[in-house]
């Protein structure tokens, strides 16, 4: 099937020609977190269907945004350098989406590893940390570390040996906190969120995150 186009000479229209189809940016979201095999993408994109996932990957490959990381049909997919240019786009759209304070129903689909992208999106761009410090989030069974240093803030999956602050909660609680549907103090009082760390360090961490 020929790919549809807006047929407009406009940068935004061209970008939408490339990544504006349904599910495309969610495939990109998964690859922003690292190379993924086809079966992993299918598992973490509930509802997409195997034929549509294959079509979206072919389109992204044809656009030069995605490539195979190695040879063979089992080789994982990864973003190309051009595809990495979608990172800030994804962050901006994530902030926009969270800023609408979306409802988070009890049956909402939320993968704990999406917390990496959510936290990275919320980090205030251009804000320098007061001091080098490492913070730990544990969302379900997935550890996420926020590393503050002289060059800025990095968010990635992984553990911290001695975090200045440690947050631990289930995935839905994290999603509700991120969407502004649950206050941190309320979550702690309800036993949904555990926060360990000096209050000053907690304030420094929260100062790195973009207010909504």
CB 76 within 8 A of CB 37: yes
pLDDT of residue 40: 97
Q: How many residues does the chain have?
A: 212
- What are the structure tokens assigned to 53, written together? 């996932």
> Does the pTM exceed 0.85?
yes
pLDDT of residue 211: 59
pLDDT of residue 145: 98
Which residues touch 12 (CB under 8 Å, ≥6 apart)? none
Quick check: helix, strand or coil at residue 16? helix
pLDDT of residue 24: 98
Which CATH number applies to 108-208? 3.30.1050.10
Say yes or no: do domains 11-85 and 108-208 share a fold.
Answer: no
pLDDT of residue 2: 55
Which CATH number applies to 11-85? 1.10.10.10
pLDDT digits (tens, 9 = 90+) for 33-65: 999 999 999 999 999 999 999 999 999 999 999
What spatial distance separates the first Cα and last Cα of the chain, rounded to whole Å? 41
User: Which is nearest to 144 in space by CA: 168, 175, 176?
Assistant: 168
Q: What pairs with residue 108 in β-bridges?
A: none
pLDDT of residue 63: 97
Low-confidence ranges of the chain (pLDDT < 50): none
Task: Please state the φ and ψ torsions of residue 211, each to the nearest 5 degrees.
Answer: -70, 145
pLDDT of residue 71: 87
Domain ranges across the chain: 11-85, 108-208
């Amino acid at each position: 099937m020929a790919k549809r186009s807006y047929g407009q000479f406009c940068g935004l229209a061209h970008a939408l020609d490339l990544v504006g189809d349904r599910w495309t940016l969610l495939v990109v979201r998964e690859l922003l977190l690292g190379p993924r095999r086809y079966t992993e993408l299918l598992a973490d994109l509930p509802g997409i269907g195997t034929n549509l996932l294959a079509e979206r990957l072919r389109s992204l490959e044809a656009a030069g945004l995605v490539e195979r990381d190695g040879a063979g049909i089992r080789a994982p997919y990864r973003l190309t350098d051009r595809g990495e240019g979608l990172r800030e786009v994804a962050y901006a759209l994530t902030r926009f989406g969270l800023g609408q304070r979306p409802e988070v129903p009890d049956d909402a689909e939320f993968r704990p590893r999406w917390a990496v992208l959510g936290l990275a999106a919320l980090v205030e761009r251009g804000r320098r940390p007061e001091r080098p410090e490492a913070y730990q989030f544990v969302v379900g069974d997935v550890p996420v570390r926020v590393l503050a240093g002289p060059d800025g803030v990095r968010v990635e999956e992984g553990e911290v040996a001695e975090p200045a602050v440690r947050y631990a909660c289930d995935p839905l609680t994290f999603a509700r906190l991120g969407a502004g549907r649950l206050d941190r103090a309320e979550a702690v009082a309800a036993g949904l969120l555990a926060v360990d760390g000096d209050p000053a360090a907690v304030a420094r961490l929260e100062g790195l995150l973009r207010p909504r």
